[in-house]
Structure 1
Amino acid sequence: MRKTLWMIAIICLLVISAAPQPTEAVDDARFKPLRRFSQVLDLVEHNYVKDISRKELVDDAVKGMLEQLDPHSTFLSADDFKEMQEATSGAFSGIGIEISLEKGRLTVISPIEDTPAYKAGLQSGDLILEIDGTPTQSITLMEAVSKIRGKRGTDVILTILHKDDNKPVKVTITRDSIKIKSVKNQELEKGYLYLRLTRFSENTTSEMLKALNNYKKSNELKGIVLDLRNNPGGLLTQAASVADAFIDKGILVYIEGRDKNSRKDFMAEGNAGFADVPIVTLINAGSASASEIVAGALKDHNRALLVGERTFGKGSVQTIIPMADGSGIKLTTALYYTPSGRSIQAEGIDPDIIYPFIPPSKDEKDDRFIVREQDLSRHLENNGDKKSDKDSKQDDKALKMLERDNQIRLSLQLVKQLPRLKEIK
């Protein structure tokens, strides 16, 4: 009997020792898919009808893996990685357009102002169906960027379906050197400054502060019309520092990945030089990413009145990770949240006042009869200093801007009334 019990114990020990341990099971679960990938790689390498290098196969596999995650994660070849660095520095060659893959369709996020794409009439929400006759149905984002970009002076033919049309059109666009001036400004009326941010590149904040301080040297700054329309975004750090110029304390934006402990807060530094200046901010469907961060911060801190249309809704953060061979990956690593804790991913930011842009008619002139003091008989003459030719040209530019843009017209009227509205509250 005792001998039988010993035999049973030995058999049990053998069974237990032969069973896979927990760590072995985990390792097997991790490496089993890699073994399957290696098998498929070997099969393709030896049996596919065309000869394809192992590097090309692996690169394509990495592309597929990343681009199945979301529209913004992608593989960057060495050339792509270099172009990405050039684009964020503020100069590159192409047509000047921000694109994305939305539900498998190549979509225009926004054309960059004063670029060939902008002048060709491309708009936020347009679909790019073909690039030089090649369908974009199964194209990757970086392949599309590579095909659209090219040497200055060369043409690219895009087949475009505008978002409100049923019939696509072919548009020939000549590539150019895209030197992006990210900040533009124009006095609308004495004391009221129009400030346009076209994107968020490395020098956006310094350019903006320079424009504001230069104006403030010789003028009382009574209000700002901040234009973020068709601003496709850019650098997160620049968005936070732009918001910091107008908000004196509190959180500006925070990002959080899948690990809750990875949260990072971007706080106002407490030295905002323009925290008391009334602001009206213009937004539309082409306002994306970093421009939504600024709009969200200004709205949550009650620092600006938002006018226009709902923004694009890109609330994710991409990290550019360089690889040893000169390539890189752009990987979505976090979502960003407005100061109130709201994610705008796929939702966008709603304006306080919904007011769509109405383009001026090409055939009709503005025949509205406007009476000013100077039109009245026996009006008093202004005996002050005469304006220089330069000042007159600036006035003319402002008048044309106001005549052609109904959203700027409304924003100017609103920013003038903001101090009075705050007193009523």
Structure 2
Amino acid sequence: MFRSPDKARWVLAGLIAIALALFGPGAYHNLAADKEDTYQSLKLLSDVMDIVQKNYVEEVESKKLIENAIQGMVSGLDPHSALLTPDALRELQIDTQGEFSGIGIHVTMRDNLVTVISPIVGTPAYTAGIAAGDRIVKVDDTPVDNLTEAVKRMRGPKGTKVVITIVREGEPKPLDFTLIRDVIPIHSVKATILSPGYGYVWVTHFRENTYDDLVAALSQMENTQPPLKGLVLDLRDNPGGVLDQAIRISDLFMDDGIIMTSKGRLARHTKVYRATRNATPRTYPMVVLINAGSASASEIVAGALQDSKRALIIGTTSFGKGSVQAIENLRDGYGLKLTIARYYTPSGRSIQAKGVEPDIAVAREPISEAVVQADRVKERDLANHLLDEASDAADPPGDGSPADAFKAISARLGPLDAEQLKKDNQVQRALDILVGYDIFNKLGNE
């Protein structure tokens, strides 16, 4: 009663064409090998689409249904595979490239309102006086009630004008700010001297410019007096990013040995990444800070430095994302993010759904009410997460729980302050370890 044979055949032909376009000539042979089962499955999908289009309470476009079907197929594989719409693909490219054109603010959703976490120093938003805690209610006189729409409207070509309407605590009326968009650099490396001879570097993400920024920060600290005697590398809350950057940054502190190994179904996805000798020796002791927010590329760095005995890892167990994703460009601006391999630390450990365990477990203590340390969701808590190959049983549920870490994030987005950093018990513990190591070395030489 709901069938439309001609339309179903058209949709079925379209789905087969999409499958061939997505997965290439090899997919055709797979379809031919099991064509009857494949045909029946695709026909079921076309029947469902026909029923939905005829009977759903609102009209639905075929393109949207097909997009959702592909999204469901891919996201059902694991939490990190996804069909990327043109907008989502552009956002991912912006996030990895290291700059975008906009007004320069970090935003989040808080109490169902788009809320400023912090303006980026030196940007139009910072210069205009937009402050942490401001609620953005309109962009160019258009109400915004979700993060994606707000960010999309605030970004635009350099030199163009945008009007931001905000609600600020203590102000009786909304405030309008007229801003001129500019190129906003995304800095993923922050550095300072904690104490004479002891440096601190915080890597927030792994973007295309992270390696260069880190080399510049290290060079500056290495050329100070007294010479650098120890380094704290902070990878807490670093969600990962570009794999190549994680490899190159690990290589900065290693002169030989394996950095990581990736293993996939295809030979081209199975690789061994090795360290090379550095022109600038970096033999000073290191402590790496990790927590449940350290994932993917940051776990590659932590695992490589831990297994090579190059650094001491302290903090809490990391997120546990031990898989590698690749982006395939599709037609009409779409992209496919697909998990292609698992990765392993130099000793052959898989951290998938397990995480990197610290050498010294140190839970973070709140510095004040402005800093909140919350349990976080980990890889093992995500639906459809990949299992560790060594186990065929499901992982035990994690203890992650959502929490409002707005103030904690805001506190870390401003310029680094050495004295404030030393109030962070994990940073102070790392510094104590480095100082103690230097003292014991001197005792041994006396």
**TM-score (norm. length: structure 1):** 0.66
Q: Is the 8 A contact 1:98 1:112 kept in 2?
A: no
Taking the aligned partners of 2:322 and 2:147, their CA distance within structure 1 comes to 21
Taking the aligned partners of 1:98 and 1:240, their CA distance within structure 2 comes to 30
Taking the aligned partners of 2:368 and 2:31, their CA distance within structure 1 comes to 71
Q: More displaced, 312-321 or 85-94?
A: 85-94
After superposition, residues 195-210 of structure 1 pair within 5 angstroms as 195-210=201-216
Residue 22 of structure 2 corresponds to residue 26 of structure 1: no
Taking the aligned partners of 2:332 and 2:78, their CA distance within structure 1 comes to 24
Q: Is the 8 A contact 1:337 1:343 kept in 2?
A: yes
Residue 196 of structure 2 corresponds to residue 190 of structure 1: yes
Q: Is the 8 A contact 2:326 2:338 kept in 1?
A: yes
Residue 170 of structure 2 corresponds to residue 151 of structure 1: no
Taking the aligned partners of 1:406 and 1:400, their CA distance within structure 2 comes to 11
1:408 aligned residue: 427
Helix, strand or coil at the partner of 1:42: helix
2:231 aligned residue: 224
Taking the aligned partners of 1:98 and 1:66, their CA distance within structure 2 comes to 27
Q: Is the 8 A contact 1:75 1:330 kept in 2?
A: yes
Q: Note the residue ranges of structure 2 that are not aligned, 5 or more in a row.
A: 1-29, 110-116, 126-131, 134-143, 155-163, 168-176, 371-415
Structure 1 residues 400 and 333: CA distance shift in structure 2, 3 A: same
Counterpart residue type for residue 211 of structure 1: A
Q: More displaced, 244-253 or 30-39?
A: 30-39
Aligned length: 319
Deviation at 1:191, TM superposition (A): 1.6
1:212 aligned residue: 218
After superposition, residues 19-418 of structure 1 pair within 5 angstroms as 26-91=34-99, 96=106, 146=148, 149-152=151-154, 153=164, 179-219=185-225, 220-259=227-266, 262-271=269-278, 273-361=280-368, 397-402=417-422, 404-418=423-437
Deviation at 1:280, TM superposition (A): 0.8
Q: Is the 8 A contact 1:112 1:231 kept in 2?
A: no
Q: 1:105-157, CA deviations, whole angstroms, 9 ceiling, x for partnerless residues? A: xxxxxx999799xx67xxxxxxxxxxx99xxxxxxxxxx9746744344779x
Deviation at 1:26, TM superposition (A): 2.5
Structure 1 residues 98 and 273: CA distance shift in structure 2, 3 A: farther
Counterpart residue type for residue 398 of structure 1: A
> Aligned residues: percent identity?
42
Q: Is the 8 A contact 1:306 1:351 kept in 2?
A: yes
1:384 aligned residue: none
Structure 1 residues 23 and 343: CA distance shift in structure 2, 3 A: closer
Counterpart residue type for residue 202 of structure 2: R
Helix, strand or coil at the partner of 1:265: strand
Q: More displaced, 245-254 or 47-56?
A: 47-56
Structure 1 residues 207 and 349: CA distance shift in structure 2, 3 A: same
